[in-house]
Amino acid sequence: MAVITFKGNPLRTVGTLPAVGSVAPAFKLTSADLKDVTLNDFSGFRKIISIVPSLDTPVCAVSAQKFNNEVARLSGVLLLNISADLPFAQKRFCDSQSLKNVVTLSTFRSPDFGKAYGVQIAEGPLAGLMSRAVLVLDAANHIIWAEQVPEIAQEPDYALVLAALKK
């Protein structure tokens, strides 16, 4: 369990974020075209896994845009943006923002994702959504960097994410 805040109010998550050095937990999530995809479908690529409460919030939107721009400059890196938003809403968001370097994945069919990654909010007005977290995975899905953002309304540390990709 992690304690994070939402506008200064404490919230608990279910479980803990996977540790650096461990293999990322397997998942099956829903893509924009309503197909089920697994983490192994992205093997061979380094990955930024950006987990957000909803793309329909200002901080999540800014984060998706910044990561989209950064990934465009990197070779062999995929950006997986994961939220509980429906795939239709995720696709509409990316289309409206002209985001071409984002793979959106929805947890709507996979309630266990939030528990496996320690990001499911357990209480308060956002219960059931995911907290804001970022993981960087190598091509073999080992976690090389992880951040559970302590305040949901705060952006992740982009510089540290990008530095982890350069190691």
Crossing angle of helices 158-165 and 58-71, in 10° steps, is 30
Sheet holding 133-137, edge to edge: 36-38, 28-31, 103-106, 77-83, 46-51, 133-137, 143-148
Distance of alpha carbon 116 from alpha carbon 21, whole angstroms: 16
DSSP states of 91-124 as a string? HHHHHHHT--S-EEEE-TT-THHHHHTT-EE-SS
Catalytic residues: 60
